[in-house]
Structure 1
Amino acid sequence: MIKPALLTLAILALAACEDELATLPAAVTMDAEAVGHYCQMNLLEHPGPKAQVHLSGMEHPLFFSQVRDAVAYQRMPEQSHAITVIYVSDMSHGADWAEPGADNWIPADTAHYVIGADIAGGMGAPELVPFSSAEDAAAFTREHGGEVTRLADIPDTLVLAPVEFEDHSSAGDDDDFRQRLLDLSRDLEG
């Protein structure tokens, strides 16, 4: 008698899981209206993989210029809504780095990520490069370095720590700016 009861419970649990998966929102095509959540810039103007985060109770997803930014968003405690699903560009099916694709989305938790590669994301920061195929991710590491890992194994320090950019400013630029301000002030006074 216990076996039929266990079988019934297992069937009900499986049905509940299928219902939960069926209610996940579908990925949205990235078009000219898609702007990055943090930068508010058009995503089509930036190379590299992108991400979209769907929030419970929200009609439209948040788009991110870099996958790294979406993972950072996921790991920060400040969200006002629960995350329903995160989709990332599948670079196994992207045309190339400049055009990662508009409809080749995969759930973030199913991707194989290349971390530590020598190529920057759309906003110039280090990127987490997602692939549906572990073989494609490994091939990418042979060309760009890095290592392959899964979402849960990406260290927080890779997504939450500040990024150090090279300083391209020079003292000469600062001096020139100060001089132009002084000249402008003199012109206004006299």
Structure 2
Amino acid sequence: MRYLVLIGLVALTGCKEEQAATPPPPADLTETALSYFCQMHISEHGGPKGQVHLKGHEQPLFFAQVRDMVAYLKSPEREADITGAYVSDMAMALSWEVPGTGNWIPADTALYVVGAGVAGGMGAPEIVPFGDAEGAQGFISTYGGEAVPLRDIPDEAALGPVDLDQTLETPV
């Protein structure tokens, strides 16, 4: 009988761990959403966006630039465990100025174009996410850069200083 109880407890623990591993769904971007770092309305800025869900928090943190979200993900100083992260799929965006409010893809499955020399919503060099290699390659053929998965984004692409005198292009 003790063995049956023990097996039941182990199975229950396994189920709870499995439930905890399921990320929350992405939240739609609203007109009132504020960017985590600058507290500005995201809807007033073009380019791809990001959102990070934290354990114990009902609403996600939104980011006006994917570069900012990647910086947050790479930072060891967070207030809670990350339960999910999503980025705009720029292959599905209407335009750079209208990146979409519900075209979110999991951040860990996206391909990111780095080094393209394009300005994100806050004017810094942007890391541009795509849901597939075809979308990323199309962007690269026009703006340059290289496509990498989230884990291979160089630290300096998100954490390095920004040269405010550099000329960055705003994609159409």
Could you tell me which amino acid in structure 2 is paired with residue 140 of structure 1? F
Question: Whole-Å Cα distance in 2 between the matches of residues 111 and 18 of structure 1?
Answer: 23
Could you tell me which amino acid in structure 1 is paired with residue 120 of structure 2? G
- Residue 59 of structure 1: aligned partner: 58
Structure 1 residue runs of 4 or more that deviate by more than 4 Å after TM superposition: 14-18
Question: Whole-Å Cα distance in 2 between the matches of residues 93 and 117 of structure 1?
Answer: 19
Could you tell me which amino acid in structure 2 is paired with residue 31 of structure 1? T
Gaps of 5+ in 2: 1-11, 167-172
Could you tell me which amino acid in structure 2 is paired with residue 163 of structure 1? V
Give the 5 Å matches for 1:107-118. 107-118=106-117
Question: Whole-Å Cα distance in 2 between the matches of residues 159 and 96 of structure 1?
Answer: 23
- Residue 103 of structure 1: aligned partner: 102
Question: Whole-Å Cα distance in 2 between the matches of residues 40 and 76 of structure 1?
Answer: 19
Question: Whole-Å Cα distance in 1 between the matches of residues 38 and 156 of structure 2?
Answer: 21
- Residue 81 of structure 2: aligned partner: 82
Question: Whole-Å Cα distance in 1 between the matches of residues 19 and 90 of structure 2?
Answer: 29
Give the 5 Å matches for 1:153-172. 153-166=152-165
Cα offset, 1:15, TM superposition: 7.2
Q: Secondary structure at the match of 2:84?
A: strand
Q: Calculate the aligned-residue CA RMSD, in Å.
A: 2.1
- Residue 149 of structure 2: aligned partner: 150
Cα offset, 1:58, TM superposition: 0.4
Question: TM-score with structure 2 length normalisation?
Answer: 0.84
Question: Whole-Å Cα distance in 2 between the matches of residues 151 and 157 of structure 1?
Answer: 13
Cα offset, 1:19, TM superposition: 3.6
- The structure with higher relative contact order (CA 8 Å, sep 6+) is 2
Q: How many residues align?
A: 156
Could you tell me which amino acid in structure 2 is paired with residue 133 of structure 1? D
Question: Whole-Å Cα distance in 2 between the matches of residues 17 and 140 of structure 1?
Answer: 39
Question: TM-score with structure 1 length normalisation?
Answer: 0.76
Q: Secondary structure at the match of 2:156?
A: helix
Could you tell me which amino acid in structure 2 is paired with residue 49 of structure 1? P
Deviation sequence 1:1-26 (CA, Å, 0-9, x none)? xxxxxxxxxxx9x978864454x211
Q: Against the structure 1 CA distance between its residues 132 and 16, is the aligned structure 2 distance closer, same or farther, given a 3 Å change threshold?
A: farther
C-alpha contact (below 8 Å) 2:116/2:143 kept by paired residues: yes
Higher helix share: 1
- Residue 130 of structure 1: aligned partner: 129
